[in-house]
Structure 1
């Protein structure tokens, strides 16, 4: 497959609730009540961690047969650290994650050697992991002001 473009739209609703649309799917992203939200969904940083784990999981499922891995179960535990002072403008620290840690859990009959090669392949072919680990050109394409009467 050649280069492709993926699209999504995020629409701010009441309070901190955001409805994200991608293709025909919708996802609610919100903040916990302690941060002023209504806790109707995970917050953006939780979604990023979840997307990272989901990406690894999909790569694992896609390539298990190639590595002769009987993948009976697979899940990823993730956690990330960031300084909220960056988001709140209280400090010059970055507002994003400084560290993300994850652990793969596999249920399989494969040997440790097979699993190690499989894990290396998963890490090398996860688009979200690649995006997080490497500089990406990110730019504001513009803005549209819709005047209300």
Structure 2
């Protein structure tokens, strides 16, 4: 018996303004800007911020779902993702532009230490964004 994989997709196209692109996902649209060093207007989130936002959002939803499945009365989840990279590589200089470190900080309201550990385990094993990024670079996870 084979499992049908879920497929997610997103598209991007340049707008009429330099350094700005329009993103499309399932009929939804979002604007993204490149940062000033790349000639962008820097008014909308840049792709690096969107990647970190995707990680934070995915972690939030996995914790919410896992808590419901485990019968944990989770009162709230707040997640912050931050990452360090060398912007010189993005600008064409001979430096590695990958994230050198990613930090994920979770505030889990209404849970005890054992429940928090169970939710962190769910995050580390079930979040597709986390598991993909963690295999590419280490991600430090901590509780607030």
If the TM-score is normalised by the length of the shorter chain, which range does it land in?
A: 0.7 to 0.9
- Greater Rg by CA: 1
Please give the alpha-carbon distance, in whole angstroms, between the structure 1 residues aligned to 2:122 and 2:54: 18
Alignment of 1:1-149 (within 5 A): 2-13=4-15, 14-32=17-35, 36-91=39-94, 93-108=95-110, 110-134=111-135
CA distance in 2, matches of 1:4, 1:85: 36
Runs of 5+ in structure 1 lacking a partner? 136-149
Size of the aligned set, in residue pairs, is: 133
C-alpha distance in 2 between matches for 1:87 and 1:111: 42
Q: Structure 1's 33 and 89: CA in aligned 2 closer, same or farther, altered over 3 A? A: closer
Q: Deviation string for 1:114-143 (max 9, x for gaps)?
A: 2111211122110001111236xxxxxxxx
CA deviation vs aligned residue, 1:30-64 (integer Å, no higher than 9, x gap): 13457532233100000000000000011111111
Runs of 4+ in structure 1 displaced over 4 angstroms?
A: 32-35
Unaligned runs of 5+ in 2: 137-144
Ranked by relative contact order (alpha carbons within 8 Å, sequence separation 6 or more), the top structure is 2
CA RMSD of aligned residues (A): 1.7
In the aligned structure 2, how far is the partner of 1:85 from the partner of 1:71? 42
Matched residue SS, 1:113: helix
TM-score, normalisation: structure 2: 0.83
Deviations for 1:7-41, whole angstroms, at most 9, x for unmatched residues?
Answer: 21101112111100011101111134575322331
Q: Which has the higher strand share?
A: 2
